[in-house]
Every structure is written in structure tokens, then in C-alpha cells.
Chain A
Amino acid sequence: EVQLVESGGGLVQPGGSLKLSCAASGFTFSNFAVTWVRQAPGKGLEWVSSITGSGDTTYYADSVKGRFTISRDSSKSTLYLQMNSLRAEDTAVYYCAKDVESGSQGFFDYWGQGTLVTVSS
């Protein structure tokens, strides 16, 4: 059974940093791209960042480029999102999601339950 379990969310002050993790199981992690999608409270879905199965290519939304870094550790089957210079508008539930192929096809067949990040003073 495919499982994705996010962790690392919490309350952080504007300008602060946070690192999210997503532990994957039930599939060969290195064979699939993985992605972060966020959802602000009461709002819709926003794609944030993706990384290919090999980890050699990353993609970012303009809203987070230069502030967020996606990475993966295939030995631990874990996806990460390092978030720096956080802003109030980054407040959201962050979901990790499994892509359907290694090279980032762009749609997602399994999602985690999400972790809430709140940026506030």
C-alpha cells in the first residue's frame, strides 16, 4: 500500500525557516517524481515544487523560487522541502504527492494527509 506521511509543519515567524519531510512507502521511491502542493486555509490547490525520480531536476513555482528548496533522499525514501524567508502568504497545508512517472508527468496518483505551516508573528 502506497503511503506518504508529511511532518515538520508548525508555527513560524515571518522571515523564519522550516523544513518539511515526507516519508514514502509501498513503492520504489526512486522510480517516481514527487511533488509538493499547498492549500491555503479555505482556498484552492497550488503547485509548489517537483523533483524527478533521479533527483537531478527540480522545478519551482515563481512564488517560492529562491526561497524554497526541494530535495530527496532515496536511501530513506523521503522527500524534503526547505522553506526559508517565510511569508504570511506561505501559510497553508502542504501536501506531498507521488507523480505517475519518474520524469514528472505532472499529475499525482497518491497524496499524503498534509502538514500545516502557519507563518505569523
Chain B
Amino acid sequence: DIVMTQSPDSLAVSLGERATINCKSSQSVLYSSNNMNYLTWYQQKPGQPPKLLIYWASTRQSGVPDRFSGSGSGTDFTLTISSLQAEDVAVYYCQQYYNLPYTFGQGTKLEIK
């Protein structure tokens, strides 16, 4: 199984500042035949289901604000929120879909400082 490890486990950032969450996979999730990274990011607010933010490591889902961006390739990925808003308080998960079983990171809790 591919193990997904996120860092940090929790993060406190001031409103308007940048937030950065890292995700590392135990093996590459870059598929050489199409040069695509099989990595997605979800946001989960308290009491709600996860919401898809980013797929193919860097493609923003329709309707997601452009302050959210994804980057990285191979085994190392980053979710960046360029200017933190109050509504961004949530737990963020990365997930690989390179192979089964699909696996998630342990989550990063983002709070306001």
C-alpha cells in the first residue's frame, strides 16, 4: 500500500497570510505514460463531508477559490492557501489514486492564529 504522510499535523496561520501543507507518498504517484500525478486534496469542515479541492495534483475543482493551489510531483506535494480566510478553517487531506487501495494522509488541521 502507498502510505501518505502529511506535515504538519496542525497549523495556525493569521488571516491573510499564506498556509502551506505538505504531503509525501511512500512511492511515486506519477504515471509515466501520461505524466500525470495521481494525487488529490480534500477539505473537511467540522460536521461536514470532505470536499474536493484539487486533483491531478494541481487542477483546481470547479468553484474552488483561486487562493487554493496544488503543486509537486512524484512523491512530494504541497497545498497552498495564498491568503487565509476564516472559512478555510478545516482539516485537509491528500489522497493518492495511483493504485488500490486508495489511501489518504492522516490530515492537517488548519486554524486561525
Contacts and interface: CB of A to CB of B under 8 A. Distances in A.
Nearest to B52: A109
A89 interface: no
Secondary structure type dominating chain B contacts: loop
A45 B104 contact: yes
Nearest to A96: B49
A88 interface: no
Interface residues of A, number: 21
Interface in A81-121: 95, 97, 100, 105-109, 111-114
A112 B49 CA distance: 7
B101 A61 contact: yes
B7 interface: no
Contacts of A106: 38, 97, 100, 102
A46 interface: yes
B95 interface: yes
B52 A108 contact: yes
A47 B52 contact: no
A111 B42 CA distance: 11
A28 B103 CA distance: 27
Contact of B49 (A50, A61, A107, A114): A114
Interface in B78-113: 93, 95, 97, 100-107
Contacts of B14: none
A44 interface: yes
Interface string A44-55: 111100100000
Contacts of A61: 101
Interface of A: 37, 44-47, 50, 59, 61-62, 95, 97, 100, 105-109, 111-114
Given A47-B104, A105-B97, 13 more contacts: A37-B50, A45-B44, A45-B50, A62-B101, A106-B38, A106-B100, A106-B102, A107-B55, A107-B95, A107-B97, A109-B61, A111-B49, A113-B48
